[in-house]
Amino acid sequence: MTNQIYPCLWFDGKAQAAAKFYCSIFKNSKITADNQMVVTFELNGKKFMGLNGGPQYKFSPATSFVIECETQEEIDYFWEKLGQSGVYSQCGWLDDQFGLSWQIVPTILPVLLSDLKRAPNVINAYMQMTKFDIEALKKA
């Protein structure tokens, strides 16, 4: 079986705008099909569907997309690009201009948290952050 699984994101009439926005941010991304009701697109080779469903449903942080970043430059890039006209939150979370939640997370975080002696200091440090600061986490 080759049943592909991918998310369908419900937008209030802005699915095409959202797909264009996301494709402009992520490399290896493209819109693959588009009509008035549905747009399908790929971000970093992963398939998504955007649906112009109307105002009945809204996104919430209960569903978010995690972007793992190796460097501070990557964190800064995604934080700035996805956060345009959005809302920044604590611990690397943000809601973009369409209301979709993202977590911009350094790949080193699980490594730092695996050290049981350092973990409380690391947790305390990142609880003070909005955007993650890799160097500050390493020093914690």
- Measured in degrees and rounded to the nearest 5, phi and psi for residue 84 equal -55, 120
pLDDT in tens, 99-120: 999 999 999 999 999 999 999 9
Domains of the chain: 1-57 (3.10.180.10), 59-140 (3.10.180.10)
How far apart (Å, rounded) are the C-alpha atoms in residues 30 and 98? 19
The candidate with the shortest Cα–Cα distance to 72, out of 25, 109, 118, is 109
- Tell if the pTM clears 0.85, that is, is over it: yes
pLDDT in tens, 27-81: 999 999 999 999 999 999 999 999 999 999 999 999 999 999 999 999 999 999 9
**What are the CA-CA distances from residue 52 to residues 1, 70, 137 (Å)?**
30, 34, 40
